């Protein structure tokens, strides 16, 4: 399904991400699929940076097709950002400080290129103002679930309707097209209404109505009701909206040449089919030392096989996003843990080839922080999940995965916010060998097939990509 042949007029668009690898990876995969469907599109990716470009992103950019270019902006010095702020706040402030550089890059592009549209990450949507100044069409890219997008769209009205802290709100919150959600499961940026994090996210959510449309990394079959509600919301509330496009799942593919990765895969080769629980908290997630101990003992107590990506503990749940610890993470494991679980568990420090692990025949479950990239990767491979959200919109994703599509189990946390070892062991066994786990496996295998179908030539997500591109051309023709 290609919009035109190679003789067509080139359509140039710019894409702005944020300095967080999960967001950059998602938007790059979107751009690759966009130019595959629309051969005559030319894309320039603009990356704000903190201190320096992310090494993982540099690796990702080596595989770009010739019609995608990129530009790293002059780095923002991390020491110039508030050191006690959450990583998400530091990232948004760095993007705000990068707006003059974004403006400069766009002006330079426009001097040589008939640029027609700007796509900005939700957390870079200040760039919508620049798009308006340069008379460009503007879109927001969400590396999130459609349910999370609905929650973000409704924050300005929730802010008016709910006077207390959301976590203290007694009744479930009903957002159109979404599973009812408790206030405590709204995104972490919402949870302190006097904080800078809340002010920043509220400002960004209010700005969403300025966009011509939304691009969402999800697919129709998993979120039909949320998709319908988003379309209706845009039809009613946005005068210039051209639609909502569910174009996912955009996930990373391909193999890694990292030696640590081959060790993981070699160990998996010697395990039985669907017998291993993969444990990872994404590119930014960290546990406290106490929680790390409980997880270790819980894995041990479960008796199940596991492959655990361990990161040094931190009091901040997103402690690895802007500055990861250089300490050897294995030194923080419970005493004697490695010896006691030898043969049954495999522990690797900081990083593992997640795509290949989830796709391996020996992997039977995934204990995940519910970052949307990771959740989609698990769905694409048909791997059941234990939902262990840490920050951002991950608790909202956990509600979708456990109560919406019912492909995950979620451990209970005590009053101190700790999941205890007995609870962890019980949930792991329930997923890997219990009846609940068997039912979940059946449901996620159906979703896996639906995800594959969405990405086929005439699938729902490929059609959405085609419609997005042709809509840009139609609106460009009207301007």
303 shares a domain with 242: no
What pLDDT sits at residue 256?
67
Asked if 405 and 219 touch (Cβ cutoff 8 Å), the reply is no
Q: CA–CA separation, 425 vs 431, rounded Å? A: 10
For the chain, the maximum distance between any two Cα atoms, rounded to a whole number of angstroms, is: 69
In a domain, 367, yes or no: yes
Sheet strands side by side (includes 137-142)? 68-72, 41-47, 11-16, 115-121, 137-142, 213-216, 244-246
425 shares a domain with 276: yes
Among the ranges given (201-210, 237-246, 341-350, 419-428), the one the predictor scored with the smallest mean pLDDT: 237-246
Choose, from 23, 144, 189, 360, the residue flagged as catalytic.
23
Token pair for residue 321? Answer: 């996003």
* Rounded average pLDDT over 159-188: 97
104 given a catalytic annotation:
no
Show the domain range for 106: 11-248+456-478
Cβ within 8 Å of residue 370, ≥6 positions away: 385, 387, 388, 389, 390, 394, 395, 397, 398, 401, 408
216 shares a domain with 91: yes
In a domain, 83, yes or no: yes
What pLDDT sits at residue 406?
98
Of 4, 15, 64, 1, nearest in space to 40 by CA = 4
369 shares a domain with 231: no
In a domain, 292, yes or no: yes
In a domain, 254, yes or no: no
Q: How far is CA 48 from CA 43, 141, 334, in A?
A: 16, 16, 39
266 shares a domain with 238: no
pLDDT over threshold 80, residue 319: no
* Rounded average pLDDT over 19-42: 96
* Rounded average pLDDT over 336-344: 97
188: domain CATH number is 3.40.50.2000
Tell me which of 370 and 257 has the higher pLDDT: 370
What pLDDT sits at residue 80?
96
Query: Parallel, antiparallel, or unpaired for β 276-280 and 11-16?
Result: unpaired
What pLDDT sits at residue 5?
45
Of 385, 346, 213, nearest in space to 267 by CA = 346
Long-range contacts: 414-422, Cβ < 8 Å, 24+? 418/290, 418/291, 418/294, 419/291, 419/294, 419/295, 419/298, 419/388, 420/294, 420/298, 421/294, 421/295, 421/297, 421/298, 421/301, 422/298, 422/301
Question: Can the peptide bond before residue 249 be classed as cis, meaning omega within 30 degrees of 0?
Answer: yes
462 shares a domain with 341: no
pLDDT over threshold 70, residue 200: yes
In a domain, 3, yes or no: no
449 given a catalytic annotation:
no
Token pair for residue 249? Answer: 């799942």
* Rounded average pLDDT over 456-474: 95
280 shares a domain with 348: yes
pLDDT over threshold 60, residue 3: no
CB atoms under 10 Å from CB of 184, counted, come to 13
State percent of the chain over pLDDT 90.
Answer: 87
pLDDT over threshold 70, residue 240: no
In a domain, 383, yes or no: yes
303 shares a domain with 229: no
Asked if 11 and 42 touch (Cβ cutoff 8 Å), the reply is yes
147 shares a domain with 75: yes
Q: In total, how many domains does the chain have?
A: 2
* Rounded average pLDDT over 43-65: 95
* Rounded average pLDDT over 5-11: 68
Q: CA–CA separation, 358 vs 355, rounded Å? A: 5
Note if the pTM is more than 0.75.
Answer: yes
Reported as a single tens digit per residue, the pLDDT across 429-461 is 999 999 999 999 999 999 999 999 999 999 999
In a domain, 315, yes or no: yes
What pLDDT sits at residue 350?
86
pLDDT over threshold 50, residue 356: yes
pLDDT over threshold 70, residue 241: no
What pLDDT sits at residue 4?
43
Tell me which of 323 and 182 has the higher pLDDT: 182
* Burial degree of 71 (CB within 10 A; 0-12, 13-18, 19+): middle
317 shares a domain with 244: no
Asked if 349 and 330 touch (Cβ cutoff 8 Å), the reply is yes
In a domain, 74, yes or no: yes
Question: Helix (H, G, I), strand (E, B), or coil: what is residue 340?
Answer: helix
pLDDT band at 6 (very low <50, low <70, confident <90, very high): very low
Among the ranges given (59-73, 228-242, 366-380, 439-453), the one the predictor scored with the smallest mean pLDDT: 228-242
205 shares a domain with 238: yes
* Rounded average pLDDT over 264-293: 96
Choose, from 121, 233, 318, 360, the residue flagged as catalytic.
121
* Rounded average pLDDT over 331-341: 97
180 shares a domain with 43: yes
């Amino acid at each position: 399904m290609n919009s035109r042949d190679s003789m067509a007029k080139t359509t140039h668009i710019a894409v702005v991400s944020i300095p967080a690898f999960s967001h950059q990876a998602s938007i790059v995969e979107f751009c690759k699929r966009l130019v595959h469907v629309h051969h005559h599109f030319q894309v320039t990716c603009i990356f704000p940076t903190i201190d320096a470009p992310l090494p993982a992103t540099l690796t990702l950019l080596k595989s770009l097709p010739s019609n995608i270019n990129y530009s790293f902006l002059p780095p923002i010095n991390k020491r110039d950002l508030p050191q006690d702020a959450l990583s998400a706040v530091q990232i948004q402030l760095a993007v705000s400080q990068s707006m003059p550089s974004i403006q400069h890059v766009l002006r330079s592009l426009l001097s040589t290129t008939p640029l027609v549209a700007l796509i900005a990450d939700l957390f870079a949507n200040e760039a919508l103002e620049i798009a308006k100044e340069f008379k460009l069409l503007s879109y927001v890219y969400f590396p999130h679930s459609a349910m999370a997008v609905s929650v973000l769209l409704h924050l300005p009205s929730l802010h008016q309707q709910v006077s207390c802290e959301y976590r203290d709100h007694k009744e479930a919150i009903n957002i159109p097209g979404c599973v009812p959600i408790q206030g405590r499961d709204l995104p972490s940026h919402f949870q302190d209404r006097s904080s800078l994090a809340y002010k920043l996210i509220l400002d960004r959510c209010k700005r969403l109505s300025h966009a011509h449309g939304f691009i969402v990394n999800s697919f129709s079959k998993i979120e039909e009701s949320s998709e319908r509600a988003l379309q209706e919301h845009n039809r009613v509330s946005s005068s210039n909206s051209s639609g909502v496009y569910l174009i996912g799942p955009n996930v990373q593919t391909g193999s890694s040449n990292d030696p640590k990765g081959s060790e993981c895969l070699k160990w998996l080769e010697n395990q039985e089919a669907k017998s291993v629980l993969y444990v990872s908290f994404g590119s930014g997630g960290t546990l406290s030392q106490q929680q790390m101990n409980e997880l270790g003992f819980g894995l041990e107590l479960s008796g199940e096989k596991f492959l655990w990506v361990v990161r040094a503990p931190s009091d901040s749940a997103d402690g690895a996003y802007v500055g990861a610890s250089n300490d050897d993470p294995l030194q923080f494991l419970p005493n004697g843990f490695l010896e006691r679980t030898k043969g049954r568990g495999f522990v690797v420090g900081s990083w593992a080839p997640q795509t290949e692990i989830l796709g391996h025949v020996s992997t039977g479950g995934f204990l995940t922080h519910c970052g949307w990239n990771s959740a989609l990767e698990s769905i694409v491979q048909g791997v059941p999940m234990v939902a262990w959200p840490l920050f951002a919109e991950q608790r909202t994703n956990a509600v979708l995965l456990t109560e919406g599509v019912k492909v995950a189990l979620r451990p209970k946390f005590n009053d101190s916010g700790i999941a205890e070892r007995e609870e962890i062991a019980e949930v792991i066994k329930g997923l890997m060998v219990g009846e609940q786990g068997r039912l979940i496996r059946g449901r996620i295998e159906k979703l896996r097939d639906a995800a594959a179908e969405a990405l086929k030539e005439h699938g729902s997500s490929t059609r959405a990509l085609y419609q997005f591109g042709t809509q840009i051309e139609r609106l460009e023709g009207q301007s």
